[in-house]
Structure 1
């Protein structure tokens, strides 16, 4: 009976000599710096410097104080603006870019623009659309639609039916 009691005693309070063989070295910890109060952090000058708003923000009509967030974006009107660009004119292209920055959909007709200018215009406006989360899609020969992030395009690609064949291809009647 005494042996049983000793086992229970050892279970709850193990004998200390079992642990005497181990050498525990204290780990050297780096000195901890006391935590700074929140108020001290807030009062430290920041490295941020106030600068004038960029030219694109001024063109877009953004206020100098910060970002304006619309509370009900569904209530705002979506507009479609149509442009016919004839060349890569800085003023004309910036006007188109401003419309994209205002989250308006742009339909762009490049029929009268030379191929070299058409490529530059599409490259530039694709960058604007991408930066704002929008999309650009060809809707006809040399005509594109550029949409902001909040506009989805639905429907088939122009010039193609559901089978993937173009409408211009004639079916062979075997005649």
Structure 2
């Protein structure tokens, strides 16, 4: 109960005079509560495979240039976004890609074309490997 008495003293609900003399002079070692991950971390080089939280990929199909701000907000929140531009006019699609290119540049991210009028925008925390172009070239050779 020594820890509880100290806590009550700190917040002012109990004064030191209320405590018996033998408790005042004896300092009990404080118990530090740690979660299992912290205990493993202290013991050595053990790394939890579940330490990274899950990443959500946002699918977005803008209808106009005004919808681009929402995509940029997702990127600022470090979420990758797949953008389908098939429902906008070509001139608006170009403006949207220009805006998103500037956004991912400012965030040190990347923008990649993954299909006709479909783009993958990622923040710097997401790494992209491979190229869809190679697969598209393979598809064309079969036709």
TM-score, normalised by the number of residues in structure 2: 0.59
Q: 1:80 aligns with which of 48, 57, 78?
A: 57
C-alpha RMSD of the superposition: 2.0
- Are 1:159 and 1:167, in contact at CA under 8 Å, matched by a contact in 2? no
Ranges in structure 2 where 5+ consecutive residues have no aligned partner: 1-50
1:85 Cα deviation from its structure 2 partner: 1.1
Bigger CA radius of gyration? 1
Match of 1:75, SS? coil
Match of 2:124, SS? coil
Aligned residues: 93
- 1:119 paired with 2:91, answer no
Ranges in structure 1 where 5+ consecutive residues have no aligned partner: 1-73
Partner of 2:103: 128
Counterparts of 1:159 and 1:146 in 2: how far apart (Å)?
Answer: 16
Match of 1:128, SS? helix
- List per-residue Cα deviations over 1:103-138 (Å, max 9, x = no partner): 000000001111100000000011110000000000
Query: 4+ runs of 1 displaced by more than 4 Å?
Result: none
Q: Which structure would you say has the larger RCO, counting Cα contacts within 8 Å and 6 or more residues apart?
A: 2
Match of 1:122, SS? helix
Match of 2:83, SS? strand
TM-score, normalised by the number of residues in structure 1: 0.49
- List per-residue Cα deviations over 1:45-104 (Å, max 9, x = no partner): xxxxxxxxxxxxxxxxxxxxxxxxxxxxx6343220000012212xx2111110000000
Match of 1:82, SS? strand
